[in-house]
A and B are shown apart, each in its own frame.
Chain A
Amino acid sequence: MKKVSLFRFGLFLLIFIMGIRTALSSVVVSDEDKITEIAKVYHASMVYIFNQQPLINSNAIGKKGLFGQSFIDKIKESYKQMFKQTFPDKTEKHMRNLLTLMMLVMEDNRTLLLDNEIEFKGFIPAVFAFQLSQKFKERGFGLNIKFTNFEERVRNKLNSPDYWEHSALTAIKEGNVEEVLERNNSFEGKIALRYMRAVKMKPMCLSCHGTLQDNPANKNKKREQWHDKDKTGFLMEGWTLDELGGGISVVLYQRNNNVYENK
């Protein structure tokens, strides 16, 4: 009799614990958490694209990791390594769109990425990030994402910051903080939740944005023979390790929430 009660109690406990776990996992993720996760995944994808430059610019056959689900799996790995966290819920609407559009960007570039006759393809993190941003802009999913910097520091003027982004970058730089988040701000006439995440200069960034000494093309060359442009053709800025290299700006807005139209 006692054995049966103990078994029942054990079973009850097991079901109870499983129920609690399910309930906890299905807790609604706040918009603040969503926007932070989106910025982090975007950041992780840029780092992955950087790390894959040798593969991208090679004529290797094994480029499977650049496309489809394999690409997303690699980004998940990159995310886990960078943030020491489990990958966010990929079924959430904005996250699902982000991952799908990432695959789409890679597909759009498939011909180039598999073109063995082109040595340097120019598919650098900033180009990937910009194309991804454009996809969101074109579709108007209620989410916009952009890799930006102070006006005088952006290479592509289309990435110039708007007023809020400039203020957020200033706050990050002067306050030495990692992120800025603001509710009830505006974006193109709509009420929006806005977020800016700092991107600090890492060793990988220096080969293009660092000093002339950091340029791999100048290695083993005399100083008077050094190039002042990086491999993309832009003048190297001379930035240094750990300084602010830019910010990932994410906007969440209601598609049909136009302030003036509602009035």
Chain B
Amino acid sequence: MSFFIKGIIMFTRINKSASAFLVVFLFLNSVKASELKIAVAEYPPFINVENGHVKGPVVQYFQNIFSKSFDKIIFVIMPSKRGVRELNKGTIDLFFPYAQHNKGSEIIGEPIFNVVPGICFKKANFIPILSAPGALNGLNIGIPPTLPLVPVFSRSSVNIKVIEGSDVLTRGIQLLLKDRLDGFYHPSPINVYHSSNPLSKDIACSLFYGYSEPINIALSAKLSREKKDKLKELYKAQMEEKPYEYYLLDLRLNL
């Protein structure tokens, strides 16, 4: 090792321009060799998984933000619960989507966007205004066990069916399609009722505006203070320059 260092010293003495190059090279290498590991759960239409690859506007937005300071950005796919576990272990740097009700993890800044809960129906049974008096009376509505109910439920005479199981959201929609439910209360109907989902031919969702939930990006507790501050600073700057929703609007309208 000492032989190697002596060699470098001798080399730089011989050639001063080479020494300057070496200093610059070593400096750049220390900065550029940074890596960011972002875990994401499938969250259509914002994040889609196709053949094991993550795609979608959120992925592109993250690339735009973080590629300014990170040499390599790695995306890994994992479900929410595991994402939170891995954040705590420090095997990933960021996790998206992180809903408010998860709690516990630090978030990068203001929410990237908000989602609105709602009820999905088969199209023939679609109810456009959910807050109309008695609109839900007598209906069998499936609900995920952990999702808080909006006040409309307490003002209506609804037959609530709590859906149990590991993939509650998929199961709820399946029960709806089989006519075993009149409606399914979904935390984020935009995940199912959007033009690129074939399910949108059979179902339509009506939303409870005014009860939106912020969707965040969570930070690993094991990140160094320096890296954490850098991530927060980059995100804040981007959100001030162009919030994600504005970016999405440009994409959709091809401005």
Question: A233 contacts B195, CB within 8 Å?
Answer: no
Report whether A110 and B195 are in contact in the complex, using a CB–CB cutoff of 8 Å. Answer: yes
Q: Is the CB of B249 within 8 A of A112?
A: no
B246 nearest CB neighbor, chain A only: A100
A145 to B: closest C-beta gap in Å = 14
Give the number of residues in A that approach B within 8 Å (Cβ atoms): 33
B100-149 at interface with A (beta carbon < 8 Å): 111, 114, 123, 126-129, 131-135
B198 interface hit (Cβ, 8 Å): no
* A122 to B119 alpha-carbon distance, docked (Å): 14
User: What chain A residues lie within 8 Å of B127 (beta carbons)?
Assistant: 233
For A40-73 the 0/1 string (1 means CB < 8 A from B) is 0000000000000000000000000001110000
- Does residue A234 face the partner (Cβ distance < 8 Å to B)? yes
Q: In whole angstroms, what is the CA distance A123 to B126 when docked?
A: 13
In the complex, A229 Cα to B253 Cα: how many Å? 38
- Give the A-B contact count at a CB cut-off of 8 A: 71
Are A68 and B206 in contact (CB-based, < 8 A)?
no
**What is the size category of the interface that chain B forms with chain A?**
20 to 34
Contact between B132 and A233 (Cβ–Cβ < 8 Å)? yes
Contacts of B52 in A (CB 8 A): none
Interface SS majority for chain B: loop
Query: How far is B26's CA from A51's CA once the two chains are assembled, in angstroms?
Result: 66
Q: Is the CB of B210 within 8 A of A134?
A: yes
B232 at the interface (CB under 8 A from A): no
B62 touches A (CB below 8 Å): no
Selected interface stretch from A7-15, A113-121, A172-180: A113-121
Ranked 6 nearest A-B pairs via Cβ: A122-B128, A233-B132, A158-B210, A68-B253, A232-B129, A122-B129
Chain A residues within 8 Å of B, Cβ to Cβ: 67-69, 100, 103-104, 107-108, 110-112, 114-115, 117-118, 120-123, 127, 130-131, 134, 138-139, 155-156, 158, 229, 232-235
Chain B residues at the A interface, C-beta cutoff of 8 Å: 111, 114, 123, 126-129, 131-135, 190, 193-195, 200, 204, 206, 209-210, 212, 214, 243, 245-246, 248-249, 252-253
